[in-house]
Structure formats: structure tokens, C-alpha cells
Structure 1
Amino acid sequence: MIEDPIMTAKVNGRDFTACKGSGKNIALPKDNVEISYSGDNTLKIKGTDSCKDTMRVIRLEIRNITGPGTYVLDHATTPQGTSTGNTASLQFPYFRPANLTGPLTTDAQHTGRVILTEFDAAQRVLSGTFEMDLYDASSGLLYRVREGKLDKASF
């Protein structure tokens, strides 16, 4: 198990740790998190858990970040990964649940939130928590992400 991972969560009750690995062997770098912060104050976070039998990807996109605070996730993500507002998605790049064709995503009825407890644009580090309900209309699948945590993540 990874000590002090940058990004963790529970996806429908199962542990999610953004890490790289094959079987029980964790590869370096241990954390598999990509974070970008653009000049228009948009924060994009992608955490990939590939340490178990399947790969899962959590994506968060938050606009108008001004510092620590609560940010609501209530827009949908397209299959191409675009959105017009704050959004979150869960993808299974290889082994998908039955009938799932695209990402599970937040929308107006299936929302989430990110609480940034630390956001330092000068030092380029953030910490916070997140949770969300993610839905796919074509399959009717609903996934719940709970206890999400970002700890001293560099960007």
C-alpha cells in the first residue's frame, strides 16, 4: 500500500488510490495524479487508479478558482471530456461495467462538491476533499464517490 497518497476516495464503497502499479507491485512514481491550473482560473485534476485489477479515472474540472472554498460540481461532461462548467466524471478505460458506453458524470440532478482547504497559486499546492454522484443516462448506472481527499497536491 502507498504511504501518504496524494489522491484517495471511495467509489461505491471500494477504495480508490491514484497510483500506478501492476498486480501487487507499485511502480514509481507512486502517485498517478495530473493537475493543471490555467490563466483563466480553471483547475483540472485527473487521478488514475491502476493498482488493482481494473483502471479507474476520476476527473475534476473547476472554474473560477479564487482560493480555498467550496465549489459545486453540477455540469455534465461529454464523452470527449468537455464541459461548460464545474464538472466531475468517472471513467473505466478498459474493463467497463455492463452497458456503460461513456463516462459517468455529474449533471444538474447528480451533483458533487470540492472543498479546497488549501490553495496556494504562488507555491502551486492544494489540499481538499471531494464527493459526488455520477450518472450515465444511457445505462442508468449511478456511482457514488465519497471520502475523496487531495493532500498537498502539486500543480
Structure 2
Amino acid sequence: MNPKSYNTLVTEYKDYIDTVDSLYRLDTIDENEISALYKQIKANLIETKILTPEGVRQMISRACFINSRSLKGYLQLGMIVRNEYHTKDVTHIPKFFDYFTNKEYGVIFNERNKRNLYKFREKEIVMAIMNDDKDSLVRITGNQDFNPNEKHDMILNPNIK
């Protein structure tokens, strides 16, 4: 691709690129920042018809998988899109995203995941790591029963069937 056409495309799709970058780099649970990101998504992805609301929810769940430290922020964002556009069953939503959405809000995005949610087990140490909860991690690892060699199935494991 010649540099001129590349630069033209980057300029033309700057809003889209910036919005997707912001989504994948989400690092907050602040409602105002989540709301601002939602407005950006709505204006640059949904209203431009680049993505449907269902496509946006799929993208949110993929971004959450990659950036699981911001799980709660992604859950909030997914619920805003769901409530705004009244989308019901969305395919290709990972089971882990449905698990946490169901746990937090009592909602399942992909009904086919419903019967498999029991497979996700929350281990206290895994949740302490995901939530960057240093106090809990120190408490857990300081316990006499703590086994540093114990293996945990990650709840974000995409291979859980």
C-alpha cells in the first residue's frame, strides 16, 4: 500500500481507530469515563453503522478477554449497550463474559452459554489477582494452608467447553 493512501485511510477512519483503541485500553470503573466511552462508541461505531449494537457487545467481550483487569468496566459498558439498544441474545459472547455479567447483573447475553456457566469456578486467589487486591493476596498467601504449587483453571480460559 502506498504511504499516501495509508495516511488517507488513517485520517478518514481516525474516529473509529481512536474509539476501538479506547475500548481495548479501558482501565477504569468510573461511571463518567465509562459513559464518555459509550458516547464515543455510539457516535463512531453504532450510528455510523460500522458495527451493530450486537457487534459492539461482541467487541466489548473480546476486549475484556484481552484486558481482564478492567472486567467491571467492560461489564458496565456491555450493560449500557444492552439497555440502550435492548439487544437480547447475542452470539459469540464468551462464556466467561456471560458468567460475570450473570453474577453481577443477573443477565446472560448468549443464552447458549446458560447451561455451561456452572463450569466457571471462582478461586479466591484468582479473583484477588484479577482485581489487583494486594491485601487479599497477602492474606491468602500468608495462610498456612496456602499451596504455592496448586494449579488453577483460569476463569478466562477460552478453551473451557
Q: TM-score range by the shorter chain?
A: under 0.3
Greater helix percent: which structure?
2
* TM-score between the two structures when normalised by the length of structure 2: 0.24
Larger Rg: 2
Greater strand percent: which structure?
1
* TM-score between the two structures when normalised by the length of structure 1: 0.25
